[in-house]
Chains A and B, each alone.
Chain A
Amino acid sequence: MSSTHPRLTALDALHRALGATMTDFAGWDMPLRYGSERDEHNAVRTKAGLFDLSHMGEITVTGPQAAALLNFALVGNIASVGVGRARYTMICREDGGILDDLIVYRLEETEAASSEYLVVANASNAQVVLDALVERSAGFDAEVRDDRDAYALIAVQGPESPGILASLTDADLDGLKYYAGLPGTVAGVPALIARTGYTGEDGFELFVKPEHAVELWQALTKAGEGVGLVPCGLSCRDTLRLEAGMPLYGHELNTSLTPFDAGLGRVVKFEKEGDFVGREALTEAAARAETAPPRVLVGLIAEGRRVPRAGYAVVADGRVIGEVTSGAPSPTLGKPIAMAYVDAAHAAPGTSGVGVDIRGSHEPYEVVALPFYKRQK
């Protein structure tokens, strides 16, 4: 983009009226927090939170060979995704490096489109993903459409979110499973209602036209008034996903890592029909992960109170054995936590003598399995 001004979401004026602290995120001016990010975090864990996620990058893929194209372009088996379901997947380079992690929703069949998929990319990677999909679509009877400006995305997350949403829609939420989506009407607004999120809680993501975003946000705010719904910024979204052990592109995922390096080899479906971009390199990466495991993504919990940050060295016996990829004070655990890639020899939960170099001082850390937090169902 040639413009140096950050892009504004359809909800920008609302955020400012709410007194949000804004931040530049991937070229978008987004709410970082409205008040205390810890209070926002705790609201999502115990009640509900409302997020503007309109920076996420939507790409629509349609046409008779839409599924075949996605099977070729992505590492997952998208052809096996049923109507109304969604899949967490990745797009890789020919050398196996991760370009982005994605959620692909298979939309309802319509007269206009017998086969339609909504690919949701990270804001920072949306252009890269779009370009790759367009390039990889050569020879397929499928259309790749940039729909970044066609949607606003509002998420309501937390244990109270089903009740809040149910008060505004006739859609069958009880029948809507995790990683599923259905078209419906919420507060009079047409929406794709998806049961997905990035918080470790039950919750919904609502894809709507930008011109409907304010109306929907206000209706959700009103519906959630009595049950503790609060507006939430990206700061708590980051600590929520960190506690839930969910990777963030640019931190746990990047082009120099394959899905196997990131401990997410399960998203690569070698058994699917046909070739796909990265198959050869990923086959080797899978074998390598078996025989000579690369660094392993682990959780670290601080014994002290100093907070590890991305890029800090993980140490043992005075040697660097890894690197922190994400770190924050965990509101739920009440202690600093981190995700880090460490040498396999130090990756087992309970490994002793592991620390993080926090600005020159080696602070003791406990190695744990991810996630740090799993909700009670």
Chain B
Amino acid sequence: MSNPQQLRYSKEHEWLSGAEDGVSTVGITEHAANALGDVVFVQLPEVGDTVTAGETCGELESTKSVSDLYSPVSGEVTEVNEDVVNDPSLVNSAPFEGGWLFKVRIAEEPADLLSADEYTAFSAG
């Protein structure tokens, strides 16, 4: 599996796109999706919610377990992916594309986000 170079990554296995007009897209990595197995339910924050870097903002349920969703940055949620709410399997089939989770207007981002290469090494360890 390869982690797209243009994204940045959190140690909780979320990815963050580069900002367009101050808004970035958030999802979970393929590594995380594979570890979860088939995702059957996603609970996302709501548009207008304020999320905080490193804090939970939703949950992902798979066959075997439920996992918290952490926000990689702080800011205001501007959009959530209704497609993935209706079809959570998108998280497995297209984690970096159609399986994105929400968009956030970044107020503050932590200094310790990883590059693709750093995340690849981190998730392999």
Chain A: residues with CB nearer than 8 A to chain B? 21, 32-33, 36-38, 235, 239, 305-307, 309, 328-329, 336, 359
Q: Which residues of B contact A239 (CB under 8 A)?
A: 63
Q: Which residues of B contact A38 (CB under 8 A)?
A: 38, 63
Q: Which residue in A36, A329, A359 is a CB contact (below 8 Å) of B41?
A: A329
The answer to whether B41 and A235 have CB atoms under 8 Å apart is: no
| Chain A residues touching B, majority SS | mixed
The answer to whether A235 and B64 have CB atoms under 8 Å apart is: yes
13 contacts between A and B (CB under 8 A): A32-B37, A33-B37, A36-B38, A36-B92, A37-B63, A235-B64, A305-B40, A305-B41, A305-B61, A328-B64, A329-B40, A329-B41, A329-B61
In this assembly, does B123 line the interface, its C-beta being within 8 Å of a C-beta of chain A? no
Q: Which of B34-72 touch A at CB < 8 Å? A: 34, 37-38, 40-41, 43, 61, 63-66
Chain B: residues with CB nearer than 8 A to chain A? 34, 37-38, 40-41, 43, 61, 63-66, 92
The answer to whether A235 and B40 have CB atoms under 8 Å apart is: no
Which of B40, B41, B61 has the largest number of chain A CB atoms within 10 A? Answer: B40
In the assembled complex, how far is the CB of residue A199 from the closest CB belonging to chain B, in whole angstroms?
A: 15
Q: Which residue in B37, B66, B92 is a CB contact (below 8 Å) of A235?
A: B37
- Bound complex: CA of A32 vs CA of B65, how far in Å? 13
Q: Which residues of B contact A336 (CB under 8 A)?
A: 40
In the assembled complex, how far is the CB of residue A266 from the closest CB belonging to chain B, in whole angstroms?
A: 31
In the assembled complex, how far is the CB of residue B58 from the closest CB belonging to chain A, in whole angstroms?
A: 12
In the assembled complex, how far is the CB of residue A65 from the closest CB belonging to chain B, in whole angstroms?
A: 44
Q: Which residues of A contact B66 (CB under 8 A)?
A: 307, 309, 359
Q: Which residue in B34, B43, B63, B92 is a CB contact (below 8 Å) of A328?
A: B63
Residue of A whose beta carbon sits closest to that of B34: A21
The answer to whether B38 and A37 have CB atoms under 8 Å apart is: yes
- Bound complex: CA of A36 vs CA of B64, how far in Å? 12
Given A36-B38, A37-B63, output 20 extra A-B contacts at Cβ < 8 Å: A21-B34, A21-B37, A32-B37, A32-B64, A37-B38, A38-B38, A235-B63, A305-B41, A306-B41, A306-B61, A307-B40, A307-B66, A309-B65, A309-B66, A328-B63, A328-B64, A329-B38, A329-B40, A329-B61, A329-B63
In the assembled complex, how far is the CB of residue B67 from the closest CB belonging to chain A, in whole angstroms?
A: 12
- Bound complex: CA of A239 vs CA of B63, how far in Å? 8
Residue of B whose beta carbon sits closest to that of A304: B41
The answer to whether B37 and A37 have CB atoms under 8 Å apart is: yes
- Bound complex: CA of A328 vs CA of B62, how far in Å? 8
Residue of A whose beta carbon sits closest to that of B64: A235
- Bound complex: CA of A38 vs CA of B63, how far in Å? 8
